[in-house]
Amino acid sequence: MTAPRTIHFTLNGAAVAATVMPHQSLVELLRERFDLFGARESCGQGLCGCCTVLVDGRAVSSCLYLAAFVDGAGVTTVEHLAADGDLDPVQEAFIETGAFQCGFCTPGFVLMTKQLLDEIPDPSDDDIRHYLSGNLCRCGAYPEIVAAVKLAARRQRGA
């Protein structure tokens, strides 16, 4: 039905329910219903990565994801990374290396890096470029971003 429906999912570690329309996207739901503004719609086509969130641990473009599809799933946004008051090692590495200027794209890069380091703890330059090729930084902080990923990887490995 075109009518609203209630979905239940885990958002940043907490069980939540929400009423959504079938044609509502996940990024709209997060911003309009939950006041989570870390994911932002920029290109609207899955190309830029600014709307990146994790669904069941995997990065997705929340502008291309129907909100109804997260029913039963676990959603993590950038806000969750520092929920305990301490920044995530990936966030710290981005700050230390100066891996941004305006910061608009940064939540997407940070979350994409989370999936990368979950899957490849010691990524090569090629791995980093491959995982982050779908995230665009118009300030052009790419060299610092690659350095930040390497720094975060080293710290997480305890090297």
Partner 1 sequence: MTPFELEEPVLLGAALALLDPEDSSVRAIAGGTALMLMMKSGLYRPRRLVSLRKLAPALDGVRSAPDGGIEIGAMVRLSDLRRSAVVRAAAPVIAETLLTHSNVRVRNVATIGGNLAQGDPHMDLPPVLIALGASVRLAGPGGERIVRVEDLLTGYLETVIANNELITAVIVPPQTGWRTAYAKVTARSADDWPALGLAVSVRVEAGIARDARIAIGAATETAMRLPGTEALLAGRAIDDALLQEAGRAAAAEAPVVADHHGSASYKRVLVAVHLGRALRQTIAGAER
Give residues in contact with partner 1 (CB under 8 A). Answer: 1-2, 5, 21-23, 25, 44-47, 49, 52, 58-61, 63-66, 68-69, 112, 115, 130-131, 133-134
Tell me the longest C-alpha to C-alpha distance in the chain. 54
Query: Does an H or E element contain 9, and which?
Result: strand 5-11
Q: Give the shortest CB-158-to-partner 1 separation in angstroms.
A: 26
In DSSP notation, 136-159 reads --TT--HHHHHHHHHHHHHHHHT-
For 33-36, the CB contacts below 8 A with 24+ separation are 36/12, 36/77, 36/79
Q: Give the shortest CB-26-to-partner 1 separation in angstroms.
A: 10
45 vs 86 by CB, closer to partner 1: 45
61 vs 76 by CB, closer to partner 1: 61
Q: Give the shortest CB-25-to-partner 1 separation in angstroms.
A: 7
112 vs 147 by CB, closer to partner 1: 112
- Quick one: tokens of 158? 């305890």
